[in-house]
Amino acid sequence: MEPSSLVQLDPQPTIAPSTDSGLRRSMGARHLVMIAMGGVIGSGLFLSSGYTISQAGPLGAVIAYLIGAFVVYLVMACLGELAIAYPVSGAFHIYAARSIGPATGFTTAWLYWLCWAVAIGSEFTASGLLMQRWFPGVDVWVWCVIFASVLFGLNAVSSKFFGESEFWFAIVKVGAIVVLIVLGGAALFGVHPLSEGTNHPFMFENFNTSSGLFPNGFTGVLVTALAVFYAFSGSELIGVAAGETADPATNIPKAMRSTVIRLLIFFVGAIAVIAATIPFEQAGLDESPFVTVFSSIGIPFAADIMNFVIITALLSAGNSGLFSCARMLYSLADEGHAPRALKKLTRRGIPMVALSVSMLGGLASLISSVVAPETVYLALVSVAGFAVVGVWMSITASHYFHRRSFVRNGGDVAALPYKARLFPLVPILAFSLCAISLIGIAFDPNQVAALYFGVSFVGACYAFFYFKYGRKARANKLS
């Protein structure tokens, strides 16, 4: 994979000006951190973490999440340097287009757009189903319409308003995790006044299961680690919002560091408490492990509290996803690789047409989940799962080629506002680990469809770009 020969990078360590002249730079570091946290902390932690423990074992689940956090750190290191070099909205597309080639940028953008469009539809459906706990007489589709209208409104006002809404969405989720870690951790040390008399596990005695520390062998840990990569997806949203960030050279690195540290504490801390509290044999998908832990330490109305938190988490992820989708379409239009109408902005700097098309894409995904769950929706979900790791690979490869071209053109790495350390080890290691996770999918019958549909979708994107834009680009070059 070689970068385009047409790419010429400025050897001076200046920050590229944003091409988004109409988008407003109104978000600060705290907005970026919470946008990333909002995209990551969702059903993967609140609902599926019990399944992870059941597959890898208590200690294995903690190790798997540590591996996932390490990969996130590597990707974020690459992302930080690129986001400052190209602080534009929908930045993944720009990174790949400038550093590797326009076809790769085009494919990356559509992969990520489809990933979040599918997620949006899924979040609406799941939220509607959870609302039936309190309103069993209201159809799920009614809640889907209500939630879709709310998220569209939050995104349509201004980027700062979106950032504020995501900040408070994320506060609710982070609060639930902090309570779990503090109260659950205290209970493991014998402090559980609300549940005196119960046989609560002490310290990490649950880690030593009847089948040993790794009940399904270390292979179970590796297979789970592949799925954990997806659980951390959303951390890259900082790059999407780079074009609407005030003082990107200061705020982006600050947000990167804060995000990695907080994800490490919250994810690994929560998993450690859950794994130490819930017996390995009882972990699964029957109920949220948060509900199980809160109930075990005597928190009243634990199920209702977590139902609210999970709905908030789903809507938060959908909010971030809709923002990301709109910026990706705007970026494609700005590059001339999508209809110009998608580039239109409101007076507040919102790409309203791109936002509307993205919402329609999410609703189409929702409809297909009902009408064609075993055909169309299966393909969409598979590509979406594939896309997360594919985009991370694109980011790391873009960083490798960007830095190499920068140095070849006489740039001074020491003068960069932010630089990833241990180059080229960091991008190569990150790319390799992501590639291994995709190869591993082939050995998991439950995930192999993601590989089939994902590779096919990538091939179709490259072919479409070649026939639609490639010949025109070559003709312009020759003329």
Range of the domain at 327: 29-467
Helices and strands in the chain: count of H runs, count of E runs? 19, 0
pLDDT digits (tens, 9 = 90+) for 24-60: 554 555 556 666 666 677 766 776 777 778 777 888 8
Share of the chain above pLDDT 70, in %: 79
Average pLDDT, the chain: 78
- Would 4 be classed as within a structural domain? no
- Would 13 be classed as within a structural domain? no
Distance CA 329, CA 92 (A): 12
159 Cβ contact partners less than 8 Å away, ≥ 6 residues apart? 23, 24, 26, 27, 241, 244, 323, 349, 350
Average pLDDT over residues 110-124: 84
Stronger pLDDT, 29 or 466, i.e. the higher one: 466
The tokens describing 299, both together, are 């928190």
Number of residues in the chain: 479
Average pLDDT over residues 289-309: 84
Average pLDDT over residues 139-153: 89
- Asked whether the predicted pLDDT for residue 421 surpasses 80, the reply is yes
Average pLDDT over residues 389-412: 91
- Model pLDDT, residue 458: 92
- Would 5 be classed as within a structural domain? no
Average pLDDT over residues 354-367: 87
- Would 111 be classed as within a structural domain? yes
- Would 86 be classed as within a structural domain? yes
Planar angle of CA 19, 168, 343, nearest 5 degrees? 25
Distance CA 375, CA 126 (A): 20
- Would 6 be classed as within a structural domain? no
Burial letters 459-477, b for 16+ CB under 10 A, else e = eebbeebeeebbeebeeee
- Would 59 be classed as within a structural domain? yes
Stronger pLDDT, 413 or 285, i.e. the higher one: 413
Is omega for the bond preceding 193 within 30 degrees of 0, making it cis?
no
Burial class (CB in 10 A: 0-12, 13-18, 19+), 366: buried
Stronger pLDDT, 17 or 125, i.e. the higher one: 125
- The CATH number for 33's domain is 1.20.1740.10
- Model pLDDT, residue 112: 86
Domain count, the chain: 1
66-70, 180-184, 262-266, 309-313: least confidently modelled range:
262-266
pLDDT digits (tens, 9 = 90+) for 48-104: 777 778 777 888 888 888 888 888 889 888 888 887 777 665 567 788 888 899 999
- Asked whether the predicted pLDDT for residue 473 surpasses 60, the reply is no
9-13, 162-166, 403-407, 471-475: least confidently modelled range:
9-13
